[in-house]
Amino acid sequence: MTPAIAVSHLVRTYNGLTAVDDLSLEIPAGELFGFLGPNGAGKTTTINILCTLLAPDSGSAHVAGFDCLAQSREVRRAIGIIFQDPSLDERLTAWENLEFHGMIYHLPKLLRRQRMEEVLRLVALWERRHDIVKTFSGGMKRRLEVARGLMHEPRVLFLDEPTIGLDPQTRCRIWEAIERIRSERRTTLFMTTHSMEEATRCDRVAILDHGKLLVLDRPQALIARQGARNLEEVFLNLTGRGLRDEAASENEMLRTRVRRLKRWR
Amino acid sequence: MTNFLDFSALGMIWKRDLIRLSRDRAQIAGSLARPILWLVILGLGMGSSVSGFGSGRYVEYLFPGIIALNLLFASFLSAISIIWDREFGFLKEMLVAPIPRASIALGKAASGATVSTLQGCLVLLFIPVVGVSVSWARVALALPFMFLIAFAMTSLGLLVAARMTSFEGFGTIANFVIMPMFFVSGAVFPLDRAPRWLSILSKVNPMTYAVEGLRGLMRGGVSWGFLLDLTVLALFALLAVRLAVWAFSRRM
């Protein structure tokens, strides 16, 4: 069976800095895979390459059997993404956001409506579907993003820190949704997280630092092999205790400037 | 063609921008304020102290030019929504979807052109205020031409915005594009007595043909001169939209 994700000797540099350094991994279909690493380790860069948003300098990446460079449209048809940064249209209602998604993923009308109701109920936003997203709390927006990512039933779903900054209730609800599509559809899930507790729930985890893969195994196997108490200890043993500075992406810098501009106006 | 046109995506991108406009009162207010400034204050104010604009009053001469001005401003600036979408992450939602990049650009060009044509139509509300004599039949005839102007200028804006990441940068460029195009188009003053260099500049300015075409339609009807204006503008629109699509299709 073709693996859901196959990465081979992937390299990507940004202005002389190697964000992803000779990364190779293979993830079988249906796996819940945890992609861990300190800030700036190259996690989001890898996801962007796998999602066809970024071209690698060298090496190859395949998702659902398709080449991320040469068959980008086929890859896009097979995947769903829950981005780290918000990507909703806040001036639209929850319903309109999902309607947009359904249209650009070519879901026929009846199926689209059915899925919209299904995912809105799954994340408990059905009653609020006609509200403008701007009026939502952070947790509600995140739930809506998760719902949108699930709507077209992707074969491979990328979740870039899906539960960051959320209250336990929202985190719980998102995990319920994740577990449910896993058992119902055998969706492959590729997730990044800083919560070692969440990472322990994964089938396998990879720990990445400075773009290089350090280890890849089942969480329990890693803990046992290192003689550690938990995954957090494994993580700190491998990546050290020094603090990391993440280079702000161009987008983030712009966002702070816009915020300043708004205040000034 | 399948690499270009994806009607469900195109239609949805178009619909989304119209929904957004309907919820944005500031944008509607802005496109009402512009004609007040130019038409009522400049048109009526300056009109009382200048003469020699053919048979009519100055405001009659100016009126089609101000429609063109509103179209130009609204269209070019509508492209800022691309920068907006990039900044607030929504562009990523479109870029990872299984739709051709060209459809994103074309959807944006279509929605920008529609929104701007509506804003151009707001100028028509001033017909009774400033007392311009133009029949509604002529106005109806001008509508498709207004859409063509809007489409051409939106595409030009998209071409500039395609790879930009800053609002301020786009605003600066927009001023450097919009104002000269407007002043060297014969919208506010006729160019037949202008210095030679200025009249050469006006000949390569697509807005000249837009203003002249609109003026022709609203004051005289379809003529050979209008056909030239229409051809030049249509060719310019094709070129601009092709370049905008190209700028979008490159990896971003």
What rounded mean pLDDT belongs to chain B? 88
pLDDT(B197) > 80: yes
What DSSP element (H or E) covers A251?
helix A250-264
Share of chain A above pLDDT 90, in %: 71
pLDDT band at B52 (very low <50, low <70, confident <90, very high): low
**Residue for token pair 């915005």:** B161
Among candidates A103, A250, A257 on the partner chain, residue whose Cβ is nearest the Cβ of B9: A103
Question: How is residue B39 written in tokens?
Answer: 């038409």
In chain B, residues with a C-beta closer than 8 Å to the C-beta of A57 are: none
Question: How is residue A220 written in tokens?
Answer: 């329990």
Q: Which pLDDT score is estimated for A231?
A: 92
Residue A105 contacts residue A151 (beta carbons within 8 Å): yes
In chain A, residues with a C-beta closer than 8 Å to the C-beta of B8 are: 103-104, 106
Q: Report how far residue A194's alpha carbon sits from residue A203's, in angstroms, rounded to the nearest whole number.
A: 16
Best of B94, B96, B106, B250 to disrupt the A interface (most A CBs within 10 Å) is: B96
Among candidates B19, B96, B100 on the partner chain, residue whose Cβ is nearest the Cβ of A96: B19
Q: Cβ of A76 and B98 within 8 Å?
A: yes
pLDDT band at A77 (very low <50, low <70, confident <90, very high): very high
Domain boundaries, chain A: 5-264
A92 shares contact with chain B (CB less than 8 Å):
yes
**Residue for token pair 């996690």:** A43
List all residues 6 or more positions away from A109 whose beta carbon is below 8 Å from its beta carbon: none
What DSSP element (H or E) covers B27?
helix B25-35
Q: Cβ of A261 and B167 within 8 Å?
A: yes
pLDDT tens per residue, range B81-132:
999 998 889 999 999 999 998 999 999 999 999 999 999 999 998 888 888 8
Among candidates B9, B23, B92 on the partner chain, residue whose Cβ is nearest the Cβ of A87: B92
Interval A56-70 mean pLDDT: 95
DSSP letter at A18 equals E
Closest CA to A23 of A3, A1, A41: A41
Is residue B2 domain-resident? no
Interval B141-162 mean pLDDT: 95
Q: Which pLDDT score is estimated for B55?
A: 60
ipTM of the complex in this document: 0.86
A251 shares contact with chain B (CB less than 8 Å):
yes
Nearest CA in chain A to B86: A251
pLDDT tens per residue, range A2-18:
899 999 999 999 888 89
pLDDT(A249) > 90: no
Q: Report how far residue A61's alpha carbon sits from residue A204's, in angstroms, rounded to the nearest whole number.
A: 19
Q: Report how far residue B179's alpha carbon sits from residue B34's, in angstroms, rounded to the nearest whole number.
A: 13
B20 shares contact with chain A (CB less than 8 Å):
yes
Q: Which pLDDT score is estimated for A248?
A: 54
pLDDT tens per residue, range A144-160:
999 999 999 999 999 99
* Domain with residues A5-264, CATH architecture: 3-Layer(aba) Sandwich (3.40)
Residue A145 amino acid letter? E
Beta carbon pairs, A and B, within 8 Å: 81
* Cα B199 to the center of its chain, rounded Å: 22
Q: Report how far residue A194's alpha carbon sits from residue B45's, in angstroms, rounded to the nearest whole number.
A: 66
Restricting to B residues 201-230, those with a Cβ less than 8 Å away from any Cβ of A are: none
Q: Report how far residue A254's alpha carbon sits from residue A250's, in angstroms, rounded to the nearest whole number.
A: 6
pLDDT band at B53 (very low <50, low <70, confident <90, very high): low
How far lies B10's CA from each of A202, B94, B97, B107, in Å?
Answer: 39, 11, 13, 4
Q: Which pLDDT score is estimated for B30?
A: 83
Q: Report how far residue B101's alpha carbon sits from residue B95's, in angstroms, rounded to the nearest whole number.
A: 7
pLDDT(A258) > 80: no
Residue B129 contacts residue B32 (beta carbons within 8 Å): no
In chain B, residues with a C-beta closer than 8 Å to the C-beta of A54 are: 251
How many degrees, rounded to 5, is the angle at CA A109 between CA A96 and CA A91?
Answer: 5
pLDDT(B166) > 50: yes
Q: Torsions phi, psi of B106, nearest 5? A: -70, -40
B95 shares contact with chain A (CB less than 8 Å):
yes
Share of chain A above pLDDT 70, in %: 92
In chain A, residues with a C-beta closer than 8 Å to the C-beta of B166 are: 254, 257
Restricting to A residues 116-175, those with a Cβ less than 8 Å away from any Cβ of B are: 132, 148
Restricting to A residues 32-51, those with a Cβ less than 8 Å away from any Cβ of B are: 51
What is the span of the domain harbouring residue B221?
7-249
Q: Which pLDDT score is estimated for B61?
A: 87
Among candidates B9, B92, B166 on the partner chain, residue whose Cβ is nearest the Cβ of A83: B92
Number of H helices, E strands in chain B: 13, 0
Is residue B1 domain-resident? no
Interval A23-35 mean pLDDT: 95
pLDDT(B167) > 90: no
Q: Which pLDDT score is estimated for A244?
A: 74
What rounded mean pLDDT belongs to chain A? 89
Interval A113-117 mean pLDDT: 96
Number of structural domains in chain B: 1
